[in-house]
Amino acid sequence: MPLAKQLLMMHRTKLIALIGGLGATLAFAQPAYDLPRLESLALESSRAVLAARDQVTAARYAVDSAGAFPNPEVEYLSGTTRARTPAGNPGDARSVTLTQPLDMPWRRSARIGAAEAGLEATTAATRGFEADLVARLRSRYFELLRREAELRNAREDMAAMESVRSRISLRVETGEAPRFELIKADAEMLNAQKTAQAAGFRVEQARSLLRQSVGGNLPGDFAVSGHLRDVPAVQPLDGLRRQLAESSPELARARAETVRAQRQLDLERSQRWPNLALKAAMNEDPDMRASQLGVVLTIPLWDRRSGPVGEAAAQLSRARNELEAQEFSLAQTLEVAYQQYEIAQTQVTALESGILKQAEAALKVAEAAYRFGERGFLEVLDAQRVYRAARAELIAARYELATAWVEIERLRAIPGGKTE
């Protein structure tokens, strides 16, 4: 048996086992998960998401703390008195003092406002974190669909090449074709097997990455449902810009940080005003009992809060600058993603409507002509390469379309996970 044929048979045996195993995995893996189910599973099981939600809970308690009134202070003193004159009476002496600090309205409103803005910022940051996680999961989901499509095509190419090789072998044996055509067919068959083997490995890698994004609750033998061509349409750019301004978690967080910085500046400025407290006291000794009412006033004479006020003002300026930078950056990112979506959509339309169909028709004509002896084997190979290239371009264009949609959805991050 020629060496080339031995190598071909050896590679074919190994590849049949590999592709058979992958096919069984893809065909019989249960259950099948669609994209919404994967997203729900990831958000439910992600420890990082749960930790971010705990931050929101902590921020809510911070609002409660900011709204709490100051506690009163009670002071109790007890001792003895000694008479220093004959008329004095020795005995026990006691005093009780109650002090209630007053929470000034302007200070209280600024403190609560800062805490509420902090809650909004934390909530927006958590929503942004969830949007990033979902976007990463969606990218890996479409990556898996892409690799599975490539594997199906590679298996089809291998089967088609094996059929062509069988015909060439028969023609060589009958003397209708030179032996170099069989050698060329063997080389092409080995290349098709190598391509299918690599496509199988890429499928397994994509499956591992997707399971990593979802979490351990996704079984190892899972399968996904859906097709790479099932990418939702997006709204016009003007509508997306409005949604970005209204629902972007990054912009919401930046705006909340600006409000918090403003409230913190108001709070620091309010600290310049005197603190006021009500005070009641009762003193008792063997000779008398006295009751007193009064106020306690702190005078900001030496510390005018210049440092904290200046720091808060600088933080407010920083927050405003970051908000403007974020608005510009996200708007540009949205435009780039939308342009990528339009380019990919144009490529998909061109490939589906004309290029792929023409390449497929040319391949069928070349194969038919070869069967009837009107064309050579090299022309069939050229037609196969053109068809494979067009098919690969279509898969790549659909994947680019999907990744552009994922990025647009990440930027919008509409609460509730709506895509429209």
Residues 6+ apart with CB under 8 A from 299: 274
**What CATH number should be reported for the domain whose range is 31-80+90-300+328-412?**
1.20.1600.10
Does 29 score more than 90 pLDDT? no
Give the residue extent of every domain in the chain. 31-80+90-300+328-412
Q: pLDDT-derived band of residue 379, with 50, 70 and 90 as boundaries?
A: confident
Per-residue pLDDT reduced to its tens digit, 246-276: 999 999 999 999 999 999 999 999 888 888 9
Residues 6+ apart with CB under 8 A from 285: 81, 91, 92, 93, 94
| Average pLDDT of the residues of the chain | 86
Residue 8: per-residue pLDDT: 46
Closest CA to 388 of 184, 199, 231, 181: 199
Closest CA to 197 of 185, 186, 189: 189
For the chain, the farthest-separated pair of C-alpha atoms sits apart, in whole angstroms, at 147
**Length of the chain in terms of residues written:** 420
Residue 30: per-residue pLDDT: 58
Mean pLDDT of 45-61: 92
Does 188 score more than 80 pLDDT? yes
- What is the Cα–Cα distance from 102 to 105, expressed in whole angstroms? 9
Per-residue pLDDT reduced to its tens digit, 83-140: 666 666 677 888 999 999 998 888 899 999 999 999 999 999 999 999 999 999 999 9
Does 197 score more than 90 pLDDT? yes
- What is the Cα–Cα distance from 338 to 53, expressed in whole angstroms? 31
DSSP reduced 3-state for 21: helix
Q: What would you report as the CA-atom Rg of the chain, rounded to the nearest whole angstrom?
A: 38
* pTM for this entry: 0.80
Q: Give the Cα-Cα-Cα angle 395, 153, 205 (nearest 5 degrees).
A: 75
Residues 6+ apart with CB under 8 A from 412: 240, 243, 244, 247, 248
Residue 113: per-residue pLDDT: 94
